[in-house]
Structure 1
C-alpha cells in the first residue's frame, strides 16, 4: 500500500490542533513563562542577583569588546558601538503604548518573531558578540539588561553624556506567542492601514519592521509622506515630535547601513537556517558576505563623517545639501547629496571616501515643517540636542520597566519622569486591623456590593504586566482621563468617588483628633471596598472568608498622570465586566475580532492563568459587576451572592442558547420545555461553555462539592489582581509580594 503523499513526492506532515482549527481560541498565552520554564528554578530572584553585580566591571568589559574587531564578524570602523546601539534600539523600539507589548524588559528579541524580522537582520551577530560578557556574569546579568546596557555604554564611549541606566530586566526563556505581532502572513507586506490610520495596537507599518519603511511608504521615496508614517509610528511608541527628531538624528550620528550587493544572496532568518548555523541566520553568499560585503537593510550609506563620534554632523549634512534619488547596490531607493565632496569615511578602507547619503526617512526630518523646525533648533544648539537625545534614549530603553521602584543599580537617575507613573511619598502611618474592619463596615453602609466590586476592578485591572503600568495604586480612576472612560460609568463614578472621599475625610479627621498620625488613602479604600463586598457576598453564600489586603497605597495627583498616554489606552473591551464597545466589528471567521479574544488578551496582561480567568468572570457575574449593571451573564437568582451558579446554569442542558442580535454578540437561554427565555449572556460568557479547555475548568467549579473551592479560588485570583502594582512591596518585601500575586492565597 502506498504511503500518503508518495505520489507527489511530498512528505506527510504531522498537524497541530491550530493547523486543523486555526480559528479556535488559543489559550496558550495564559500559560507562558511558567516557573518550570526558567532553568534557574522557581527560587531564582534576579533582582537579588543583580544587586550583587559589579556593573562597573561589566561596563569596562563592554568597552573592551567594542574596540576588538573579530574576524568572524568584523566591526565597521573598528568599533561595534553602532551595532550595539542598533541592537538596544531594536530591542526597546518594538514597544507600543496600546498594550505595552514589545520593548526590552524581557530580552525577547532573542526569540521569534522578533529575531527573525527583516528589520533585525544581523542583530543575531550582535547578540553573539556579547556572549563572552553574558558568559562571565551568568545569573547576575540578564540578556535583557546586557543588551540595553551595551547600547548605552556604546553611546557613552562615543561621546554622549548619558542620563543614566537602570538594571532590573528579567529574561524570559520562550517566545511571546501572542498573535498581536500583526495580521500579515508574510513579512514586509503592509496590512495595517495607511499613515495616520495605522491599525491598533501596532507601532510599525509592516510586519518585520520596527517603525516604517526607510525607502518611504510602501517603497515610495516621498519624504513628506514618510514623515506622516514616522509621526504615527513614533506616537504609537509614546514619543512626541521632539523626542522623535532627537532619536533619529542622534541614532543616525553613528554607523552605517549595509547593502553591498543583491538581496538574492541573503540566506534565511535564524529560525529557518540550517542546524549547523547554530542559531545564526542571514548568511550572505555575496563575496565574503561580511565586513564591506555585508547585507543588512539593503541600503548602502554612511550618515556622518564621524560615524563613531556623537555630534551634529548628521543634521549639518541633512540641511547643507540638495538631494537626488539613486539606488543602492541592492536596488533600494536612497538619496545622495548633489555636488557634494567625498567627505564620508569608508568603514574598512582608510584611503576611500564617499559622498553623503541619506534615507527617505532621514529627509522626512527636513521636509516636514514641524520636524525641520526642531531639527534646525538642535543644529543651532548642540548641547540642547545632546540633552534631548539622552533623555529620549533613556525613555526609549526604560519606559517598559514600570515605576521607579523597579529600577535597580547605582546609575538610576534621580529625576522622576511622568511616563514612570510617579506617586507621592507616603508621609503617614498605615491603618491597622481594627481600622480595616471599621472602614469595611462604613463602605458597605454607603455602597452596594456590585458598586464596590465594579470600581475596585475598574481601578486595579488597568494594570498590565507588559510594561507594569496602570493599577489601583494612585487611585487614578478619579482623575482625568480615566474618570471619563466610558467603561467606568463616568457619571456614577463621580458620585462614588465622593462617597470614598467622605469616608476618607471623616476617618482621617478622627485620627488627627485622637493625635494619631494615621491615614487611609483613597486607593486603599477602593481596594478595601472590593474586599468588604466579596466577604459579604461570600457570607451570604454561607462561607466565611477574609480577602487578603495589605495597606500602603497612596493617591496620585493630576500632575502625576500622563494624560495623553491614558487617553490613548482607553479600553474598548473588558470581558470581565462584559463590556465591548463595537459589536458590529465581530467577524466570527476571524477570532481576533471577537470579545473572547480580547478577554484572553486582557487576562494575559494581568498574568492570569486559565482557571483564574474563568473564576474571575464567574464571580464578577454573580456579583453583578457588569458594565451598566446589565443582567448579561448574571446566571443566578441570587445576585451579589458569591455562588457557583454561573457555572451550574451555564452548563445546564435544560436550556438552549440562541443568538439575540445580528452581530452574534448577545444570546438568550431558552427553556427547552416551556420556550421561556431564562437567561441572557454574551459571547464572553458562552465561550466558557463552548471552548473545550474552558468547559473542562467550568465543570470543576459547577460540581456540587466545588462551592467552597470556587469561593476560595475567586478570592485568591481577586487578591492577585489587586496587588499586582504594589512595587513598593516588591522592593521592600519581595516574599510577601510574590505570595500576594501568586494566586495561591
Structure 2
C-alpha cells in the first residue's frame, strides 16, 4: 500500500480541532482562494514575511495589458446566471430566474464601502487590497456569506490568473452584475493591487477572532468605549459607536457593520411615535439621522448620492432570514454572525441540516439561508434592474413586521398589493421619514432616467475610491485601463 501523504499544516490544524479551507474545497471548488483565515496570515501579523505574495504595481499593470475585458465580462455574466449546487443562486424562491446579481453587487458594495475620508485629508479602507478575503474583514458580521460570493468568483480568478487582481475582480463583478441585469454602469477602471494580509483593516475595527491565535492583534474591540443612544431610544437597544474611538477609526455605528443598523433604533415607550399595538417600534425618523451620520459624516456622501446608492443597492437581490433559531444551540451565538465561514457545522459552509433550517437538498442554504436575518426581496424582479424600490416606498403604507428569523422589518399594510411579497428595512423607510431624502425619493420615482444617471455616478465613485487611490479618477490616471462597456448592447446586456 502506498504511504498516505498528509500536509503537515492540515495535520496540525486537524489536531487543533478546526476545519481548514482546503477541507471545505471538496464540496465547494476553489473556495479557499476567496477566504484566508487569520491563522494563515499570522506570519505578516507578527511582522514576519507573509506566506502569500502579490504582484508589484509595475508587474500587475503589465499583466493588465493582456486582459481581455470583454471576455472577463462574459465569464462573470455567465457565472452570474448559472446556479451552483454548493451555493444556489437567489431568484426561484421569489418566482424569478436564478441570479447571483444581488450577491455580487453586495460583495462589491461591502468591499468598497469600508472607505473613509478622515477630515478630507486621510483616506482609509476601500476595496483595493482585497482585504475582505483576510481577517479581520472576513469575520465582520456584515460580510456574512460573502465568503460564498468570493468562492464562486474563484473560478473566474483561476481562469484569468494574474491578469486580474482580486480587488479588481470583486469590484468589476459587482459592476457587471448591475450592467448585465439591465442597470446603469457606464465605466470601470482597473489597476487595484491586492494586499498580502488584512493588516490595514485592523484600524477599522476587529469583530471576531475565531481563526486568530498567538498575535497581539487577536483581540476584538467589538464593544466601543465611546458610545451613545438617541434621546428617544430604548435603553436596552444597541448602543451606537461614536466616530471618535481611542487609537482607531470607527466606520459605522458598530464594529462589524459597513453602514448602519438596518433595523433602526427602538423607541422608548414614552416616545411620541411609540405604538403599543405594533410588533416593533423601530423609528424611521431616528434611522434617517443614523443614515446621514454614516453616509455624509463618516463616508463623505451627499444626500443625493446616499439615496441613489441605497435605492440602487436595494434593487437587485434579497435579504436572507428564513429560519427561526429559537430553542436551538445556535440561538445564543447565531452561526450567521461567526466568520469567516458563517456555518452551523464546521466544514459545511451552510446553516444547520438537522431540520432547523429546512430539509432536503436545500437545508441550511438556498431558500433556507440566514445571512442578515431579514427576509425577502426589495423588488418584484430581484434579478433585473427595476424601479420598485422608490415606487413602492411612495405608493404603499409600510407597517412593522417580523422575519422568520425574528428581525424587525416592514411589509405592506395591503396584503393584496402588487408589492405585498416585498419587504423594507427601517433604514429604507427612513428615506421617506426625512424631508430632504423624501424629496429625492419623489424625484427618482418620477424620473427613472435621473435615478439611473445619479446611481451610475455614485456607484463609480463607490468602487473606485480607496486608501491608495482616494479620488474617483485616480485609478484611470494611474493604470489607464478602463472600459465603457462598448461591447454591451441595450438589447442584450449579456455578451
Q: TM-score, normalised by structure 1?
A: 0.47
1:212 maps to which residue? Answer: 260
Map 1:65-214; keep pairs closer than 5 Å.
Answer: 65-77=79-91, 78-98=98-118, 99-176=122-199, 179-182=202-205, 185=220, 187=222, 191-193=226-228, 198-200=242-244, 201-214=249-262
Measured after TM superposition, the shift of residue 410 of structure 1 is 3.4
Measured after TM superposition, the shift of residue 270 of structure 1 is 3.8
Q: Residues 32 and 242 of structure 1: is their aligned pair in 2 closer, same or farther, counting only changes over 3 Å?
A: farther
Distance, in Å, in 2 between the alignment partners of 1:358 and 1:48 is 45
- Count the aligned residue pairs: 376
Measured after TM superposition, the shift of residue 282 of structure 1 is 5.8
Q: Residues 179 and 193 of structure 1: is their aligned pair in 2 closer, same or farther, counting only changes over 3 Å?
A: farther
* Bigger radius of gyration: 1
Measured after TM superposition, the shift of residue 275 of structure 1 is 13
Measured after TM superposition, the shift of residue 154 of structure 1 is 0.5
* Equivalent of 1:269 in 338, 345, 360: 338
Partner SS, residue 324 of structure 1: strand
Distance, in Å, in 2 between the alignment partners of 1:43 and 1:379 is 43
Measured after TM superposition, the shift of residue 386 of structure 1 is 0.2
1:252 maps to which residue? Answer: 314
Q: Residues 248 and 188 of structure 1: is their aligned pair in 2 closer, same or farther, counting only changes over 3 Å?
A: farther
Partner SS, residue 334 of structure 1: strand
Map 1:113-512; keep pairs closer than 5 Å.
Answer: 113-176=136-199, 179-182=202-205, 185=220, 187=222, 191-193=226-228, 198-200=242-244, 201-217=249-265, 221-235=282-296, 236-263=298-325, 264=330, 266-267=334-335, 269-271=338-340, 283-285=351-353, 286-287=357-358, 288-341=363-416, 343=418, 354-400=420-466, 401-402=469-470, 403=474, 404-411=476-483
2:30 maps to which residue? Answer: none
Q: Residues 162 and 126 of structure 1: is their aligned pair in 2 closer, same or farther, counting only changes over 3 Å?
A: same
2:276 maps to which residue? Answer: none
Q: Residues 405 and 37 of structure 1: is their aligned pair in 2 closer, same or farther, counting only changes over 3 Å?
A: farther
Would you tell me which structure has more helix in proportion to its own residues? 1
Q: TM-score, normalised by structure 2?
A: 0.70
Distance, in Å, in 2 between the alignment partners of 1:321 and 1:275 is 37
- Aligned partners of 2:396 and 2:413 also within 8 Å: yes
1:659 maps to which residue? Answer: none
Map 1:727-742; keep pairs closer than 5 Å.
Answer: none
Distance, in Å, in 2 between the alignment partners of 1:41 and 1:137 is 14
- Aligned partners of 1:257 and 1:302 also within 8 Å: yes
Provide structure 1 residue ranges, at least 5 long, that are not aligned to the other structure.
Answer: 1-10, 12-27, 345-353, 414-745
- Aligned partners of 1:61 and 1:133 also within 8 Å: yes
Distance, in Å, in 2 between the alignment partners of 1:33 and 1:409 is 34
Measured after TM superposition, the shift of residue 198 of structure 1 is 3.1
Distance, in Å, in 1 between the alignment partners of 2:174 and 2:308 is 16
1:55 maps to which residue? Answer: 69
Measured after TM superposition, the shift of residue 269 of structure 1 is 3.0
* Structure of higher RCO (CA pairs closer than 8 Å, 6+ residues apart): 2
Distance, in Å, in 2 between the alignment partners of 1:362 and 1:190 is 29
Measured after TM superposition, the shift of residue 44 of structure 1 is 6.9
Map 1:523-672; keep pairs closer than 5 Å.
Answer: none
- Aligned partners of 1:325 and 1:333 also within 8 Å: yes
